[in-house]
Amino acid sequence: MMDPEKPVEFLVHLYQDGAFNRRELVRRVARVTGSLATAVVAVETLGVTRAARAQCPPGVRVPENAPDIEAQMVDYQGPGGTVFAYLARPRDGDVPRTRSPRITRRPAILVIHENRGLNDHTKDVARRAARAGFVGLAIDLVSRQGGTHNFPDPAQAGQAYNRVGAAAYVEDMLASVAYLKTLNFVQGDRLGVTGFCAGGGNTWRLVLNSPDIRAAVPYYGSPVPTMEELDRINIPVLAIYAEQDRNLTRGMAALIPGLLDRRKVFGFFVYEGVGHAFYNDTGSAYNPAAACDAWARTTAFFDKHLRVA
DSSP run (H or E) holding 135? strand 135-139
CA of 200: how far to CAs of 16, 57, 186, in Å?
A: 16, 24, 23
Put simply, whether the predicted model's pTM sits higher than 0.95 gets the answer no
Rounded to 10°, the helix 7-16/36-45 angle is: 60
Please indicate, yes or no, whether residues 31 and 82 belong to a single structural domain of this protein: no
Please indicate, yes or no, whether residues 197 and 138 belong to a single structural domain of this protein: yes
User: Stretch 92-103: mean pLDDT, rounded?
Assistant: 60
**Burial (Cβ within 10 Å: 0-12, 13-18, ≥19) of residue 191:** buried
Report the pLDDT value the prediction gives residue 95, as an integer from 0 to 100: 44
DSSP run (H or E) holding 78? strand 69-78
The residue type found at 86 is: Y
pLDDT at 102 over 90: no
Q: How many helices (H) and strands (E) does the chain have?
A: 10, 8
The residue type found at 27 is: R
Report the pLDDT value the prediction gives residue 1, as an integer from 0 to 100: 46
Give tens-digit pLDDT for 20-32: 676 777 778 777 7
Please indicate, yes or no, whether residues 182 and 270 belong to a single structural domain of this protein: yes
Report the pLDDT value the prediction gives residue 284, as an integer from 0 to 100: 86
Please indicate, yes or no, whether residues 77 and 133 belong to a single structural domain of this protein: yes
Report the pLDDT value the prediction gives residue 9, as an integer from 0 to 100: 75
Report the pLDDT value the prediction gives residue 188, as an integer from 0 to 100: 96
Using the 3D structure, point to which of 34, 52, 70 is the last residue of a domain: 52
Give tens-digit pLDDT for 280-297: 999 889 999 999 999 999
Average pLDDT, the chain: 89
Q: What is the C-alpha to C-alpha distance for residues 48 and 70, in angstroms, rounded to an integer?
A: 38
Q: What is the C-alpha to C-alpha distance for residues 283 and 277, in angstroms, rounded to an integer?
A: 7
> Do 107 and 192 form a contact (C-beta atoms < 8 A)?
yes
> What 3-state DSSP class applies to 127?
helix
Give tens-digit pLDDT for 118-142: 999 999 999 999 999 999 999 999 9
Range of the domain at 135: 57-306
Contacts of residue 155, Cβ cutoff 8 Å, sequence gap at least 6? 10, 11, 14, 19, 28, 116
**Burial (Cβ within 10 Å: 0-12, 13-18, ≥19) of residue 168:** middle
Using the 3D structure, point to which of 18, 33, 52 is the last residue of a domain: 52
Rounded to 10°, the helix 154-164/7-16 angle is: 110
DSSP run (H or E) holding 28? helix 22-33
Task: Please tell me which residue, 160 or 16, carries the higher pLDDT value.
Answer: 160
Q: How many domains does the chain have?
A: 2
> What 3-state DSSP class applies to 196?
strand
Report the pLDDT value the prediction gives residue 35, as an integer from 0 to 100: 67
pLDDT at 18 over 60: yes
Please indicate, yes or no, whether residues 115 and 213 belong to a single structural domain of this protein: yes
Report the pLDDT value the prediction gives residue 45, as an integer from 0 to 100: 67
Report the pLDDT value the prediction gives residue 262, as an integer from 0 to 100: 97
DSSP 143: G
pLDDT at 67 over 60: yes
Q: What is the C-alpha to C-alpha distance for residues 80 and 244, in angstroms, rounded to an integer?
A: 37
Report the pLDDT value the prediction gives residue 177, as an integer from 0 to 100: 98
Query: Which CATH number characterizes residue 221's domain?
Result: 3.40.50.1820
Task: Please tell me which residue, 120 or 42, carries the higher pLDDT value.
Answer: 120
User: Stretch 5-23: mean pLDDT, rounded?
Assistant: 72
> What 3-state DSSP class applies to 154?
helix
Report the pLDDT value the prediction gives residue 309, as an integer from 0 to 100: 57
Report the pLDDT value the prediction gives residue 112, as an integer from 0 to 100: 98
Please indicate, yes or no, whether residues 131 and 193 belong to a single structural domain of this protein: yes
Give tens-digit pLDDT for 190-220: 999 999 999 999 999 999 999 999 999 999 9
